[in-house]
Amino acid sequence: MLDLESIVATPLAPFGSFANGHRPMDIAPRFIIHETAHWILNHHMSSALPGYLVLGTRHNANSLSDLPEQALVEMGVLLASIQKTLQAELKPKWLYISRFGHDPRFPIHFHYIPVYQWVEDQFWEDERYRLLENFGTSAAARTLTDGAEMTLFIWREFGENSQLPAIEGPSIDQVIDHLRTCFNPVNQRLRLQVDR
């Protein structure tokens, strides 16, 4: 049985490379937080939102069905561990975990999008996004937001806007440094012993 302790102790392929020798996702080393034999966890390189992470496979595969069994086993443990760590350390109001797969040039990967209270506040303060209320049919559409609206807001405002919104809390570099510490194999072993 594979657990987090054995995953973090697994030897890695060369830093930032893929198991099959290809590099379809060129990840700048300064964004890499954690690596395993089959996966790379990095901060999203084009998002200004601290804590927006991407978990990508080292394999040149666009489908879960194309991944080796061991990569799938690692994936489940990593998805849960990353979620638990982000919720405990960054404390977002919501944490979205998504796979989109619109661009076949990139191997399968998952987005971890933290929605902090201050991000939601910025969404409600931006009048341009009130147009989205016109698409809802219930009264709740005018008073509540949902994952699709927040994801659109985060992608447009924190990833594509030339004038980025104000950031509250730690910077991207601070978040990366902190999460590297959280995913350090020694720290993971200590956490596992405490949790048992």
Question: Which pLDDT score is estimated for 48?
Answer: 95
Which segments of the chain does DSSP mark as H helices, in order?
4-8, 69-89, 117-125, 147-155, 172-183, 185-195
pLDDT at 15 over 70: no
Residue ranges making up the domain that contains 127: 4-195
98 - beta bridge partners? 111
Token pair for residue 63? 């489908």
Q: Are 43 and 33 in contact (CB under 8 A)?
A: yes
Total domains in the fold of the chain = 1
Residues 105, 18: Cα–Cα separation, whole Å? 14
> How deeply is 24 buried, as exposed, middle or buried, from its count of CB atoms within 10 A (0-12, 13-18, 19+)?
middle
For residues 106 and 55, which has the higher predicted lDDT (pLDDT)? 55
Average pLDDT of every residue of the chain: 82
CATH of the domain at 27: 3.30.428.10
Note the pLDDT tens digit of each residue in 73-86: 999 999 999 999 99
The pTM of this model reads 0.81
Question: Which pLDDT score is estimated for 128?
Answer: 85
Note the pLDDT tens digit of each residue in 142-155: 567 778 888 998 99
Question: Which pLDDT score is estimated for 187?
Answer: 57
Proportion of the chain above pLDDT 90, given as a percent: 54
Q: Where is average pLDDT lowest: 33-47, 112-126, 179-193?
A: 179-193
Q: If we measure between CA atoms, which residue out of 172, 135, 138, 140 comes closest to residue 152? A: 135
For residues 151 and 196, which has the higher predicted lDDT (pLDDT)? 151
Note the pLDDT tens digit of each residue in 173-187: 999 999 999 998 765
